[in-house]
Amino acid sequence: MKKIILLIVSLIQFTILFGQQTGMNTYVLRFTDKGVSPDFVINASLYLSQKAIERRIKYQIPVDQTDLPLREQYVNDVSSTGARILARSRWFNTIVIEADTNMIINISALSCISKVELLIYNSQAKRVASETSSPFFKAETVNPWQIKMNEGGPTDKYNYGTAYNQINQLKGQYLHNLGFSGEGMLIAVIDAGFSSADIMPCFDSLRANKQIKGTRDFAQLGNNIYATSMATHGTSVLSCMGANVSGKMVGTAPKADYWLLRSEVYATESITEEYFWVSAAEFADSVGADLINSSLGYTTFDNASTNHSYSDLNGNTTMATIGADKAASKGILVVNSAGNSGGAGWWYIGSPADGDSVFTIGAVNSIGVRASFSSVGPTSDGRIKPTVMGQGSGAALYSPGGLTSGSGTSFSSPIICGITACLWQALPELNNMQIIDIIKSTSSQASNPDSLMGWGIPNYETAYTTLSIRDHIVTKSLIVYPNPVYDKITLAFPAPIQGKYKIEIVNIEGTVVYSNHRSESSVHSIQINDIGSLPPGIYLLKVSGVSLVYTGKIIKM
């Protein structure tokens, strides 16, 4: 009863403030719970893909109630009032709605509602992008190609064509030549639209090899994100990673898998897009994305009352930033453009680039000089941003019209994201934050980072070969049978295992549920006979030796 009274008092205050209007406002509603008790046993396979579950097991990230979907009855109770559902978040147990005053009073009386927050007043007023708002892409340009082709070195795996400089600047071809082109890595691309990407020849190999795993529109549900009416921005962003046309342009991760997710309405700028972004990030988590590339950012909006101030960019205030850091806590490496405001009156990075767990990418030109438009730091709480730099001035890319060049941190971000996926493919034993730390420590300004270029331009060859990680434990896969397993299992090694080693089985909550130390002279296989008491579920199996870690997955019946 006390909660209902407080919510109604708040609504009376809204009404006094804005008058007895009957128009639609946008609100954020927080639910009281997920409709289950705190000790509810979560069956992760009902809510997360197998790849998402494996990520949690591998990096010992517990499954908790933030992974549960919203209680659908609660959502239905809200929509039955006539309110329009705009976005939903399982991580934060919230929905965003449009409702008039009468609807919101009825909603506030629902026992499932713990908080009502007015987000946008008069949200159905005509919205027109203006000079006072700052669409993230506004400063970006796409121009006819004017840069000379360069095939690359004679021993390079790919003939990069126009993309050679932006990859060579990062020494990314070193990883490609070792066979690390993104295979097995899943990148979620959150953007404004992917016009014509389903028919463009530069993505033929992605389609032929089924590397595009799916699409989803969170800004306007059910849309075809490939439609010619959609923005081309995401198409160009994707090309920086996934294009594969020998001699013309090869992206930084031509063998990676991709989910294409739309969260941005290109023509206007609204704070609700931050909530769409969070919905997209949650979906990316659920399908098992390893990385997110977000060439998006938020500072000011068409409705000036929702603008962010510099003090908001502290890593803990804006919705997109909170969501990006949450994605990172789930094990995803979040790569985000710094922004294109470096030469304007507002020169700071936007949201979610200010997140402390976000890999924030600025832009340099072809010779490594900071592009004047590239947004700078620090964050309002004094942290260095951007994190690193990639070529974002005169970058090679594709648009629906063909091969072209563009300038903007929207392009330096995916260039970095793709080659980072390749590095992580090469070093799978490391988690997302360790990968970021290694890249920072081997970048051009590692000894003296600043808020213009962060830690500088990465060197992915050094990141892989440096002595600081040269002694990293090599991870290889186990052959496990039978699988699924009931009580005992055999582990087969690709090479004989010798000396002391430890066997561990880790559950979905990240807890070691089985541990055994052994020593062998030289064996190709071992048997575990005492796991019949383990509860049914998916487990990570890890065998740790002196210089190798063998991993496998088991399904316990």
CB environment 168-177: b (16+ within 10 A), e (fewer): bbbbbbbbbb
Task: Please state, in angstroms and as integers, the Cα–Cα distance from residue 407 to each residue in 104, 253, 394, 417, following that order.
Answer: 45, 20, 5, 17
Q: pTM for this one? A: 0.85
Residue environment code for 352-386, b if the CB has 16+ CB neighbours within 10 A, otherwise e: bbbbebbbbbbbbbeeeebbebbbbbebbeebbbb
Q: Say what the alpha-carbon torsion angle 392, 398, 402, 407 is, to the nearest 10 degrees.
A: -20
pLDDT band at residue 116 using 50, 70 and 90 as cut-offs: very high
Helix axes 319-329, 272-286, angle to 10 degrees: 10
Residue type, 208: A
Residue percentage of the chain with pLDDT more than 70 = 87
Which run of H or of E encompasses 525? strand 512-528
Question: What are the tokens at 461?
Answer: 């060859």
The least confident of 189-203, 245-259, 517-531 is 517-531
Tokens (6 digits) for 507: 């559950």
Average pLDDT over the chain, rounded to an integer:
88
Which pLDDT tens digit goes with each residue over 500-541? 888 888 877 667 888 888 877 777 778 888 888 888 887 878
Q: Give the pLDDT mean for 461-468.
A: 81
Place of tokens 């809204």: 14
**Residue 222 burial class via C-beta count within 10 angstroms: exposed 0-12, middle 13-18, buried 19 and up:** exposed
Half-sphere CA count of 447, side-chain side, radius 13 A: 0
The dihedral built from the CA positions of residue 417, 418, 423 and 427, taken in this order, carries a sign that is positive
Structure tokens at 456: 């500088």
Domains of the chain: 141-300+308-444+454-470 (3.40.50.200), 474-556 (2.60.40.3080)
Radius of gyration of the chain (CA): 25
Confidence of residue 476 (pLDDT cuts 50, 70, 90): low
What does 306-340 look like in DSSP terms, one character per residue?
Answer: GPPPGGGTTTTSSHHHHHHHHHHHTT-EEEEE--S
Beta bridge partners of 108: none
Number of CB atoms found within 10 A of residue 499's CB: 12
pLDDT of 142: 65
- Which of 244, 264, 298, 246 is closest to 418 using CA atoms? 244
Is residue 29 within 8 A of residue 119, CB to CB? The reply is no
Tell me: pLDDT of 486 over 90.
no
Side-chain-facing half-sphere of 304: CA atoms under 13 Å: 3
Sheet of strand 25-31, all strands in order from the earlier edge strand to the far edge: 84-89, 94-99, 25-31, 113-120
Which of 158, 229, 162, 140 lies closest to 396, judged by CA?
162
User: pLDDT at residue 148 above 60?
Assistant: no
User: Is pLDDT at 469 greater than 70 in this prediction?
Assistant: no
Structure tokens belonging to residue 310: 């510099």
Average pLDDT over residues 194-215: 97
Of 16-30, 58-72, 409-423, give the lowest mean pLDDT range: 16-30
Whether 460 shows a pLDDT value over 50: the answer reads yes
Q: Where are the beta strands (DSSP E) in 32-107?
A: 84-89, 94-99
Which two three-digit tokens encode residue 197? Answer: 């990407």
Residue 66 scores a pLDDT above 80 = yes
| Residue of 146, 235, 160 whose CA lies nearest to 193 | 235
Instruction: For 290-313, write each residue's pLDDT tens digit.
Output: 999 999 999 999 899 999 999 999
- Per-residue pLDDT of 131-145, as tens digits, reads 444 445 555 766 655
Range of 19-23, 422-426, 537-541 with top mean pLDDT: 422-426
What pLDDT does residue 520 have?
75
Mean pLDDT in residue range 542-549: 72
Per-residue pLDDT at 371 exceeds 80: yes
Query: In Å, what is the CA distance from 278 to each residue of 191, 233, 238?
Result: 12, 19, 20
The answer, yes or no, to whether residue 477 has pLDDT greater than 80, is: no
Candidate from 31-45, 389-403, 534-548 with smallest mean pLDDT: 534-548
In the prediction, which pLDDT does 144 show? 57
Does position 92 have pLDDT exceeding 50, yes or no? yes
Task: Please give the residue that has the higher pLDDT: either 257 or 487.
Answer: 257
Is the pLDDT at 379 greater than 90, yes or no? Answer: yes
Residue whose token pair is 């005169």: 394
Mark out the alpha helices in 243-387 (DSSP H runs): 272-286, 319-329
Among 131-135, 214-218, 401-405, 471-475, the range scoring the smallest mean pLDDT is: 131-135
224 vs 512, which has greater pLDDT?
A: 224
Longest Cα–Cα distance of the chain, Å, equals 83
Instruction: Give the C-alpha separation, 434 to 60, whole Å.
Output: 14
Q: What is the mean pLDDT of residues 307-329?
A: 97
Provide mean pLDDT across the span 193-221. 97
